[in-house]
Structure 1
């Protein structure tokens, strides 16, 4: 690894704008934004993927490798990524910093406590929870109805035992009431930080967070509780983006980490806008499949932040398409062109959907070492039939060299004008927006609402929140809300079980199916495969 000030210099960042966290990590001071405010923005490229499978698609890997390849071709490029959560790291996925020769480093630090951002977000979230209970305990001047408190606690770990809890048990410990925990990546504080323009905007958004309702049905906010300043104090460093590097020294801004299945799935606006002032091209990613992360990138992040994306790259693998064609996980390594053909519908729908947003689109076929050439050719041919440029990507094995063809194809795509537009406008009703996503992107026939969800949506509109975008929370494994419906299902109805207002973030969360905002650990969590060696090195995390 290069000292971080050398990486910063490569990106045009003077040392005076760095706040060092050791030799290889740094936060970027807001003074950098002020110094670069008059520079023209670079081109913004989104990397997304088909629906995720147990084999792994390599979306973050491709983002990193593509940034390396662009720099190797002489195009000044900065990557902008999300911060990993401890929950998935110790749960099912393990580390989330790329792999092979397309990694961001120091990988162990980034995957674990990094610069403390997620812990600060957890603390700010829980400060608000504590102040809510304290307000009720000391007289409840705002007449907050204990049965209508909607603010839970947060922790950055998968812990299903905390989904539903009772607080306040025991004499002198407050009013016993039902509550629960979210994983920090699903916290509205995470979304607020990631969608804020600066520290001042962060405070204003924190004030708007709705924590519950009075006995008369009026909303109570964090501002009403005078909690926003304390929360902002805890977030004063977390709001600053982090600078790290790839294995070849490409600058990477890593900031914020909302999940895309239960939150909006994009790295921070501050980090992205900073990167756009530093690079001629910025490569970023959004979580899970394109119908989740990419949709929210276009409809929430870009719309709110005034960003103009210039292209989108869809990552696809032969294994993913065979899985969507009905092949069991244990047999994905075997050649099966018929199953791959059956699974191509998943890729086609994602490509079609991305084109709806008006940006040039290309496909990155992430090569696994044992992939049959005939199967890779089938994918490339299918893309050609759609008129979508596609290239093989071998960045895991070869780093920048393995992404050269993809990088050249992207540069050609960036020569085309972007006609970016969100999928839906903000004037239709909340139900109309949900229906547009379900029918036009997912391929569904309609939406079934629980009585409570319908009532809540009507209430949000009555309170003046009908003009907000919607943030869909659903399984990432299918276009539908049922994980078992693979490929490109049609004619299904999506069931909306619950909706909630994220007034600070600026969207309405729509929970479908059995979506969980606090994941659980799998039967054999990744933590069981990890060891801490005597010399301090960690085995099994990456």
Structure 2
């Protein structure tokens, strides 16, 4: 089989439709578009109300089994599925997160899809797009500056424990822990702080979950930047920062309209971190997209235990939308990795023996697939297993996956969308359309009225498969404090590794006989949830020895080169 051209070469060969033409397919007029150059447009927030009376399309989320360091093609599958649905006569709309510059210049790459299943223009999508990430960075750091300024001018509110750090959209390990104000008396109060990557900002999650400009403004005001000695929260509203933050984010709240290589509409908006945040694109994009076509295809970050759990328990509740089906992406190589018979490392080629035909190795790793199917079914949603096919796969290995999926009562399809675009995803599209006609009895993991500790325990035991939870004394004290202060009915998130169903990245497959340690609990009052930390979570990645940034450049004509 001939090797595919690079993603960038494939993207540049595409003939793009004018944004107004793409929007017209969605029933969105030019009066609701704000052009950003020739190939991208923002959709005005008035579109939500303008489309409100139209019937809602089907709502499909794309998730995956526990990933390997290489990723298993979740975004690519979502793009391919949208293209495949269009080839089957449906009117699909795609809603995805925007890539962060950190991974783009790091090692993972962008989030535009791959091969013949990409969102374009590829360079624009992966490099700044319309500046939404920079708006989030500016709004977040404005609040940080106003915190420091408040301290410098006497700390009238009595801030004692400050939790609001700074952010930037570049991987830089040297900024994880810093000392600010390390100068003279006019340089601010000296204290320890640090930076996170912009995707990990609570402001990014607020942008993703806000349902309107008024809701955005209210959520920004609720941000808790720190606590007084008496344990009372100090908010962005009290610091009089929320209004200026809303001004910086006003345009960023509007979704970005792009298209796939085959001209399918794609709403690209927000990019919350998948470990400590929701890991889903915006509620506003979904509210527009679901009334702009027959099927809205969206994606949830990382695997079903993380992004999909948050999609179901947090985003669907906020958006007021009910899912119709879930696509579970798997690959032969990932299941072989979960067999624990091979050593897979970031930046290293796959072991040659891992590419040899071995249905037995796939069979040894299918416990992870079964567990993720169980997770999706626990929400009352019909799963469709998408086998993201690679040229090194063998039919006998696909057959193992097909058998396991069917035994679990799921639909299944092999998809070759990377090599063949929408044509290669037609089988998957047909299975998804069939799944959307199945009866759905959507059941969240917990009730909002449940105590915070109970919510955490229900996720740990009912989703991850833990035997129980062990809460550190400080975390238990924080849970009691949040409940007393009126935050007890918020949803919960659990910040943990994406590399395992458990908190331990070394535990592959579907581990049993373990308990989830909750070492710390934090409040994201603006976003509207409490999150528990289980294990060590890195919120500011570092660069590899040879990051992608070394290979990205401009040629003599000013064209980007070296981008994937």
TM-score, normalising length: structure 1: 0.98
- For residues 8-47 of structure 1, what are the structure 2 equivalents within 5 Å? 8-47=23-62
Instruction: Name the counterpart of 1:485.
Output: 507
Q: Is the 8 A contact 1:57 1:316 kept in 2?
A: yes
- Find out whether 1:298 has 2:320 as its counterpart: no
Aligned pair partner of 2:405 in 383, 386, 405: 383
> How far, CA to CA, are the matches of 2:152 and 2:191 in structure 1?
12
> How far, CA to CA, are the matches of 1:526 and 1:335 in structure 2?
32
Q: CA deviation at 1:129?
A: 0.5
Q: Is the 8 A contact 2:97 2:270 kept in 1?
A: yes
Q: Is the 8 A contact 2:518 2:533 kept in 1?
A: yes
> How far, CA to CA, are the matches of 1:409 and 1:74 in structure 2?
14
Q: Deviations over 1:401-453 (max 9, x none)?
A: 10111111111111112211211111222121111111121111222233322
- Find out whether 1:74 has 2:96 as its counterpart: no
Residue aligned with 1:471, SS: strand
- Find out whether 1:521 has 2:535 as its counterpart: no
Q: CA deviation at 1:50?
A: 0.6
Count of aligned pairs between the two proteins: 540
Q: Deviations over 1:140-198 (max 9, x none)?
A: 221222xx011111111111211111111111112111111111111110011100001
Q: Deviations over 1:117-152 (max 9, x none)?
A: 00000000000010111112112221222xx01111
Q: Is the 8 A contact 2:283 2:318 kept in 1?
A: no
Q: CA deviation at 1:454?
A: 2.0
Q: Which sections of structure 2, spanning at least 5 residues, go unmatched?
A: 1-15, 345-349
> How far, CA to CA, are the matches of 1:7 and 1:17 in structure 2?
13
- Find out whether 1:143 has 2:158 as its counterpart: yes
Instruction: Name the counterpart of 2:272.
Output: 258
Q: CA RMSD in A?
A: 1.2
- Cα pair distance change 1:492/1:523, threshold 3 Å: farther
- Find out whether 1:63 has 2:78 as its counterpart: yes
Instruction: Name the counterpart of 2:103.
Output: 88
> How far, CA to CA, are the matches of 2:480 and 2:557 in structure 1?
59
Residue aligned with 1:34, SS: helix
Runs of 4+ in 1 over 3 A off after TM superposition: none
Q: Deviations over 1:47-79 (max 9, x none)?
A: 000111133311000100111111111111100
Aligned pair partner of 1:192 in 206, 209, 233: 206
Q: Is the 8 A contact 1:298 1:357 kept in 2?
A: yes
> How far, CA to CA, are the matches of 1:437 and 1:30 in structure 2?
34
Residue aligned with 2:291, SS: helix
Q: CA deviation at 1:537?
A: 2.3
Q: Which sections of structure 1, spanning at least 5 residues, go unmatched?
A: none
Q: Deviations over 1:234-283 (max 9, x none)?
A: 00110000000000100000000012112110000001101011011100
Aligned pair partner of 2:441 in 419, 424, 431: 419
